[in-house]
């Protein structure tokens, strides 16, 4: 029974565990960062769409479109410099000129995982989404 607890295999597995656990923890944190990227992109896409939806009802209120997009970008802390709302040239649909509104939302994502920001240009990832809708 004593030989079981004092075998050299016990020490070897402890050293192997100590060498591999930082790699596993780094991979787990990277998975969480990837989930954050997906969440933030989904949020800015939804914010752009909601800003454009506001714009089809109020086509001349560009500040209102930007504020609506900021309101729907929950948890990102966006400012008006991150959101742009512009009118597009009218498209001829069935002989009727139908103008469109384009709302673009941008966000600079900084990962919390150590070493990952070294592989990204500038240490961050630029996320951007836009939505284009026809005015009514």
Contact residues for 39 (Cβ-Cβ < 8 A; gap 6+): none
Give residue 84's Cα distance to chain centre: 17
End-to-end alpha-carbon separation of the chain, Å? Answer: 83
Give residue 46's Cα distance to chain centre: 11
Encoded tokens for 100: 């469109």
Q: What pLDDT shows up at residue 12?
A: 81
Q: With contact defined as beta carbons under 8 Å apart, do 131 and 52 qualify?
A: yes
How many CB atoms within 10 Å of residue 92? 9
Banded model confidence at residue 117, pLDDT cuts 50, 70, 90: confident
Instruction: For 50-88, write each residue's pLDDT tens digit.
Output: 999 999 998 888 899 999 999 999 888 888 888 988 887
Of 130, 89, 88, 91, the closest CA to residue 107 belongs to: 130
Give residue 115's Cα distance to chain centre: 19
Burial group, residue 47, by CB count within 10 angstroms (0-12, 13-18, 19+): buried
Q: Give this prediction's pTM.
A: 0.77
Q: What pLDDT shows up at residue 123?
A: 79
Instruction: For 2-59, write each residue's pLDDT tens digit.
Output: 555 555 566 788 888 889 999 999 889 889 989 999 999 999 999 999 999 999 998 8
Burial group, residue 73, by CB count within 10 angstroms (0-12, 13-18, 19+): buried
Q: What pLDDT shows up at residue 94?
A: 64
> What average pLDDT does range 116-123 have in this prediction?
76
Q: What pLDDT shows up at residue 47?
A: 94
Q: Specify the range with the lowest mean pLDDT, choosing from 91-95, 103-107, 124-128.
A: 91-95
> What average pLDDT does range 119-124 have in this prediction?
78
């Amino acid at each position: 029974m004593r030989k079981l607890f004092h075998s050299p295999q016990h020490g070897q597995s402890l050293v192997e565990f100590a060498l591999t656990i930082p790699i596993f923890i780094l991979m787990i944190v990277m998975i969480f960062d990837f989930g954050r990227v997906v969440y933030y992109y989904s949020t800015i896409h939804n914010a752009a769409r909601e800003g454009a939806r506001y714009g089809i009802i109020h086509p001349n209120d560009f500040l209102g479109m930007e504020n609506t997009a900021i309101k729907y970008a929950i948890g990102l802390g966006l400012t008006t410099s991150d959101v742009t709302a512009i009118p597009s040239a009218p498209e001829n649909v069935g002989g009727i000129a139908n103008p469109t509104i384009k709302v673009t939302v941008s966000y600079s994502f900084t990962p919390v995982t150590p070493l990952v920001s070294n592989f990204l240009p500038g240490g961050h990832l630029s996320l951007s989404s836009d939505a284009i809708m026809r005015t009514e």
